[in-house]
Structure 1
Amino acid sequence: MNEFFAWYKLLHVKGLGDKSARILLQRLKEKDMSVEEVFDLSEKAFAELVPEFGKGRLSRIRYAHFHELDEERIEDSWEQLQQCGIRLVPATAEAYPSALASRLKDEAPLVLFCKGNLNLLGADSVAIVGSRHADEATLQLTKDIAAALAGEGLNVVSGYAKGVDTWAHTGALAADGTTTAVLSEGLFHLSEKKEFADIPAWERNALFVSQFLPVTRWAARNAMMRNKVVVGLSKGVVVMASGPERDAKGRMSGTFQAARTAMEKEVPVFVLDPASMAQPPAGNAELIARGACAFSSPQALIELVHQSKPKSAAKPTQLSLFD
């Protein structure tokens, strides 16, 4: 069993959530043990390694769960990953983006599934986020901004949704730049956007990333989780069009949430000035009022990006997996 397959098996252990997985991985690090060795431990050795498992809030995770896996199904899906060109990048791997780990700390996904140009995980990146229902003028400006960022050698990160996300990805690729698409579903559900069809050899300049098991289907909660990764991979976040923090029904805007997360992580946020928009969305003004930088053109944005430097995040203190 190799390290990457062991991580994949770990993701299928019943009851092993994010908190318990982090405890287990920290103990393994302290004992200088590999993930593979977990599956070879005796019940006694397992209890000595993680004595809190099976008790209290961690009662759902037990030794037996590591040995009740459907090995054949897991091996078949692992083989499917290889055939689809999907790479598993665990938090301990050299390829895991240090920016994501340092910005999100214990909120950083323990595993990323990747397809495409893996070098882009460590690229100097800026995110572009915005509404699925932005008007035509905003979408065209999104494409121009993505091209301008690409022209500065910056990788464009977005969420692969329709609207602003799609125009951000295609704008970067059409300008012979690079882009990272962070998905809110598993990579087995990835489908090529029709907008990519006219862009020559776009595959070499794109990376698809998901923090979810490849079979996972889209869900609203996944989109919110995805937004944190978009922020974590980026040294700045560009907001093209955002709804208010919550709409009349109390539903949170994903774009606003991404911008708020960036502010909390001290990642610079640049918001399209509503004064320059024919139909200004309510969220843009609200974000500017909270301290985001306003811009009205690609050139103005580029200047702001070069002037702004995200505060260096301290290394995680709860876990040392990323040291």
Structure 2
Amino acid sequence: MNIQNNLYSENTQAVLLLSTFFSKPKKGEARPLTAVEYGRFARWLHEFNYTPSSLFHQFDEVLSRWKDPKGKITAARLSEILGRKAAMGLALEKWQRAGVWVITRQDSEYPQLLKKQLRHISPPVFFGVGNKALLQKGGLAVIGSRGIDNIDEEFTQNIVIQAAQESINIVSGAARGVDETAMLASLNSGGTATGIMADSLLKAATASKWRKHLQNEQLVLISSFYPEAGFSVGNAMARNKYIYTAANAALVVRADEGKGGTWAGAKENNENQWVPLFVKQQSEASGNIALLARGAHPFELKKDSGLWLAEALSKVQVVKTSSPPSHSLNLFE
């Protein structure tokens, strides 16, 4: 039961208690802080020379000074979520047996590209399995709809095989469709992949399709949601920003205008100008057409052999969505 004391510092324990579910939430119980709430509270703690673990020893002092401008982070709420140490111990012990580890924003293994882009709204905690070193590798985010045809599947596989040949890490969401196709094609070609999951990390840790690649240290799977979390649309939408900001550039294979996670994520990336956005040009998908009209870079697969992908990706900058291009930019002709 004391595994959290053996493996994790007091500060990490405090961050976990403040920000994480340890089981399916029950009606009426206090909810852990959201990423935005935690960011607001953590900034205040730092400003007044406290740490999250100060709440274990100086709770009354801290709360006598803290006044949440939003009125959401109350003493009663903090007291209840900090009182879940037994639940945390049981959960951590179970997850650790499956190889799941924990990193917080203060840890050097935390994905630094993501942290630099999102700053105070970066997730306070990531749970993960696999090779932590890949979290610093950046790479190409490859994303798209769950429902894809043979043409999109072949396109995804071909571009990812090229990426593997150039040692470009693939970042994606591990969902069926484009995401899973991209990750498995990279791994099966000897490349690497970072999967940023919205749910079911614990199941993925032992899934046969990932197991070999985890053992070979080609793969890391992470989630900002507790490892047994089921699917929710809200979590999937929140996860989109982590896929983009953990990469150096992004490629949308297929999107539907106005709906779905792929469209929402691409739109959010353009609004925040996180990374250059490429979109598969030879597509009749409504989202692809709309994103290209909004300034995304048209992407064509180059048929010539050689190392061309990294150079092509590095030639472009983020384009503001308010300024669509006056001409077609095709880097792969």
TMscore range, shorter length: 0.7 to 0.9
Find 2:17's aligned residue among 3, 9, 30.
Answer: 9
Unmatched tracts of structure 1, length 5 or more: 246-251, 312-323
Does structure 1 conserve the Cα–Cα contact (< 8 Å) formed by 2:281 and 2:300? yes
**Distance in 2 of aligned mates of 1:255 and 1:89:** 27
Find 1:297's aligned residue among 301, 309, 333.
Answer: 301
Provide the residue aligned with 1:226 in structure 2: 239
Give the CA deviation at 1:219.
0.6
Provide the residue aligned with 1:316 in structure 2: none
Find 2:229's aligned residue among 216, 219, 222.
Answer: 216
1:3-53 C-alpha deviation (Å, 9 max, x unpaired): 32232222259354234422332233234433222111142x022341x15
**Distance in 2 of aligned mates of 1:260 and 1:170:** 26
Question: Aligned residues: percent identity?
Answer: 24
1:59-118 C-alpha deviation (Å, 9 max, x unpaired): 655376257623322211111222222121111211222211222233321211111100
User: Are 1:125 and 2:139 an aligned pair?
Assistant: yes
Find 2:40's aligned residue among 13, 23, 30.
Answer: 23
Does structure 1 conserve the Cα–Cα contact (< 8 Å) formed by 2:18 and 2:33? no
**Distance in 2 of aligned mates of 1:287 and 1:31:** 44
> Alpha carbons of 1:15 and 1:165: their partners in 2 closer, same or farther (altered >3 Å)?
closer
> Alpha carbons of 1:42 and 1:158: their partners in 2 closer, same or farther (altered >3 Å)?
closer
Q: Which letter does structure 1 place at the counterpart of 2:53?
A: E
Give the CA deviation at 1:119.
0.4
**Distance in 2 of aligned mates of 1:200 and 1:121:** 15
Provide the residue aligned with 1:272 in structure 2: 280
> Alpha carbons of 1:42 and 1:221: their partners in 2 closer, same or farther (altered >3 Å)?
closer
Alignment of 1:68-217 (within 5 A): 69-190=83-204, 203-217=216-230
1:121-170 C-alpha deviation (Å, 9 max, x unpaired): 11031100011111112101101111111222211001111111111001
Give the CA deviation at 1:201.
6.8
Does structure 2 conserve the Cα–Cα contact (< 8 Å) formed by 1:184 and 1:222? yes
Provide the residue aligned with 1:36 in structure 2: 53
> Alpha carbons of 1:192 and 1:262: their partners in 2 closer, same or farther (altered >3 Å)?
farther
Alignment of 1:34-73 (within 5 A): 34-43=51-60, 45-50=61-66, 52-53=67-68, 57-58=71-72, 60-62=74-76, 65-66=79-80, 69-73=83-87
**Distance in 2 of aligned mates of 1:192 and 1:294:** 38
Provide the residue aligned with 2:325 in structure 1: none
> Alpha carbons of 1:310 and 1:49: their partners in 2 closer, same or farther (altered >3 Å)?
farther
Q: Secondary structure at the match of 1:4?
A: helix
Unmatched tracts of structure 2, length 5 or more: 22-29, 320-333
Q: Secondary structure at the match of 1:285?
A: helix
CA RMSD of aligned residues (A): 2.6
**Distance in 2 of aligned mates of 1:64 and 1:219:** 25
Provide the residue aligned with 1:314 in structure 2: none
Give the CA deviation at 1:178.
0.5
**Distance in 2 of aligned mates of 1:96 and 1:200:** 21
Give the CA deviation at 1:195.
5.0
> Alpha carbons of 1:42 and 1:8: their partners in 2 closer, same or farther (altered >3 Å)?
closer
Give the CA deviation at 1:296.
1.9
Give the CA deviation at 1:309.
4.6
1:292-317 C-alpha deviation (Å, 9 max, x unpaired): 11122156755531312559xxxxxx
Provide the residue aligned with 2:328 in structure 1: none
**Distance in 2 of aligned mates of 1:124 and 1:22:** 23
**Distance in 1 of aligned mates of 2:189 and 2:254:** 22
Does structure 1 conserve the Cα–Cα contact (< 8 Å) formed by 2:162 and 2:309? no
Q: Secondary structure at the match of 1:62?
A: helix
> Alpha carbons of 1:307 and 1:264: their partners in 2 closer, same or farther (altered >3 Å)?
same
Q: Secondary structure at the match of 2:217?
A: helix
**Distance in 1 of aligned mates of 2:214 and 2:73:** 50
> Alpha carbons of 1:305 and 1:201: their partners in 2 closer, same or farther (altered >3 Å)?
same
Q: When the two structures are aligned, how many residues end up with a matched partner?
A: 297
**Distance in 1 of aligned mates of 2:89 and 2:208:** 33
Q: TM-score, normalised by structure 1?
A: 0.82
